[in-house]
Amino acid sequence: MAIGQTQLIKPVLMVLTSYRGIVNGHEISGFYLPELTHPLHVLNQAGVPVAFASIKGGKPPVYGIGDDEINQRYWQDGNFQQQLNHTLPLAAAKSDDYSAVLFVGGHGTMWDFPDDAAVKKLIRDMFECNKPIAAVCHGPAALVNVKLSNGEYLVKGKRVAAFTDTEEMEVGLAGAVPFMLESTLKARGARHQAAENWQCNVVTDGVLITGQNPQSASEIGKALCQQLLAG
């Protein structure tokens, strides 16, 4: 990728949940670190600029730090920690400032993404300007209540991937989350396309790029890069 090519690309806004309530099975909820670091690694390698935002701004709650090599590389990096500790409140983000948006997953997203006014406005504005909207695992919770200017749900008739109901059951949190993501997307008219549990699955429908689970995080980054470079 030519350096000049990436210099023309505005940052990708990576959006994180601010919900930290304790969810059964987790010490805290929040966002799932590999679903930030893995696409971030792809974007960094490609020279695509990024910015971090969260629903409330500041330092968002996180889990899944683990021993993953990419996780640890970022977690021990001072610049990354500085960015993470000072995320922009999403309400202050302007769609004109970004080339694309990526909604990072984690169980916390199920509580604060769906009904947040800034989430819905940013997605609608960017989608209607033909800018890529990406989301991975539980990140597509950001999409469930978004309506376009014509009053239709954005996901109606769209092919999408997201954390499946059977995956939610397998991790034992089907009774803890406020709704089942796959079922809700289908109820909004989405054409949900599932792979086997824990298999990488990224679905692209126009500018909408969605991934099923943590195993899909790197491929989300690659699909996003492809769209940005094609544009």
Sign of CA dihedral 204, 209, 212, 218: positive
For residue 6, pLDDT over 60 is answered with no
pLDDT at 225: 96
The domain of 207 spans 12-229
Residue 168 domain-assigned (yes or no): yes
Mean pLDDT of 121-135: 98
Residue 212 domain-assigned (yes or no): yes
Residue 5 domain-assigned (yes or no): no
Query: In the predicted model, what is the mean pLDDT of the chain?
Result: 94
- Domain tally, the chain: 1
| Backbone φ, ψ for residue 189 (5° rounding) | 100, 5
Residue 83 domain-assigned (yes or no): yes
Residue 116 domain-assigned (yes or no): yes
Residue 2 domain-assigned (yes or no): no
pLDDT at 27: 64
Residue 3 domain-assigned (yes or no): no
The rounded distance, in Å, linking the Cα atoms of 35 and 39 is: 7
**CB–CB of 18/31 below 8 Å?**
no
Mean pLDDT of 168-172: 93
Provide the token pair at 67. Answer: 């021993």
Q: What is the CATH number of the domain that holds 85?
A: 3.40.50.880
Burial 79-105 (b: 16+ CB within 10 A, else e): ebeebbeebbebeebebeebbbbbbbb
For residue 141, pLDDT over 70 is answered with yes
